[in-house]
Every structure is written in C-alpha cells, then in structure tokens.
Amino acid sequence: MSDMRASVWLLVLSAGLVLAQPAAGAMWLRITVDHPVAGTPAPITVTTLVMYGQALCVDDPQASIVPNGTWYSGSGSEPSEPSFRLIAYPTGRPNAVMAIRLTHRAVDSAYWDGSVSFPSSGSWTIRMAQPNWGDAESETERCGGARVDVQVATARAQGFEWPWLAGAAAFIALVVSLLAFGQRRRFASRIM
C-alpha cells in the first residue's frame, strides 16, 4: 500500500469517525456540484461512503465504495451524526472562504444537500473543513474525497443574443422574399 493511501486511512480514522457496521472502516466522501454558473445557486450533494477492501482513492475506478449513513464518533456506543463544515473559495485563495450550509436528508441517510452561489466564474475549490482531513490543499484530502475543484461557468448575458438575432434576420428575409414574390406574381398576372 502506498504511503499516501496509508496516511489517508490513518487521517480519516483519526478524525474519530468509524462505521456502525461489523466491517468497520473509515469515512470517505463524494462531493458533487451540478452545473455551477456564476451568480446562480448550484446544488451540492455530499455523500458519506465506506470503502471495502484495498485502500484506494475515492475516485479510483477499482475502489469498492458504498454509501453509508450510520456513523459512530470517537468511542461512542450510540450512532452520532457527523458534524460537517463545507467551504468554497477561488482555487489558490483559501482566505476568501464562503461557508456552504448542508442539510441531512434523513437520519442514517448517506446524503447531505446544500447550495452555493459562486460570485465569479473560474476554478473554485470546495473542501470539507470539518472534520479535519489533514493539511488543507493536500492530496490526502483529495484522495479521501474531502476536496474537489470545479469550473464555474460565466453567466450568460440576458436579452438579445447572436443566435436569436440570426434567426430573426433569416425569418425577416423569408417574409420579404415571399412578399416580393407575391407582388411580382400579381404584377405579372396584370400584364398578361
């Protein structure tokens, strides 16, 4: 097992979160953002996962990961809900943090939902700041699914756009042609 994979396992276990199932394991995450556009709310889903078998990065196609919503914290004997703090910031500018509020779908659900409105387009980093996944911006954090980078699209201008204008121009040209053809036909029928 590589050093990075081993450190991911140790790091996640040290966060104090373990499975409530006989085959205990560490918490892994999957953070998904649907179609981020600057200035428009983008839905975010955080899925808590458990990995079985060999410790791989969460995005490795060979990783055997399963959504799981029941977790124990520390040495607790009762399941407890993880305490999450999700943040977003322009990539490379971790001091410009925006908090993203998450809502748990249901007790024991593996899914947490939120929304974020990115103020500008470009590359943004979304990371789980709590529980602590280790050094911010580390590959260990990315491997465990606690950090993703997303491309935020530029908001499209409202109003008249070139494709609309081209379609309108074609329609006007067609109407003018039909009117001219109709006038020509009428003129030709009067001459004869």
Question: 147-152 and 71-73 as β-strands: parallel, antiparallel, unpaired?
Answer: unpaired
Phi/psi at 49 (nearest 5 deg)? -130, 160
| pLDDT value, residue 171 | 76
* Domain locations in the chain as residue ranges: 3-152, 158-192
CB of 40 closer than 8 Å to CB of 33: no
Measured at the CA of 60, the angle between CA 54 and CA 61, to 5 degrees, comes to 100
CA–CA gap between residue 49 and residue 19 (Å, rounded): 10
DSSP, collapsed to helix, strand or coil, labels residue 45 as: strand
DSSP, collapsed to helix, strand or coil, labels residue 123 as: strand
| pLDDT value, residue 76 | 62
| pLDDT value, residue 5 | 42
Q: How many CB atoms lie within 10 A of CB 131?
A: 18
The arrangement of secondary structure in 3-152, i.e. its CATH architecture, is Sandwich (2.60)
pLDDT digits (tens, 9 = 90+) for 163-175: 555 667 777 877 7
| pLDDT value, residue 15 | 41
Sites in the chain below the pLDDT cut of 70: 1-25, 73-78, 157-167, 181-192
CA–CA gap between residue 140 and residue 25 (Å, rounded): 17
| pLDDT value, residue 157 | 63
| pLDDT value, residue 9 | 38
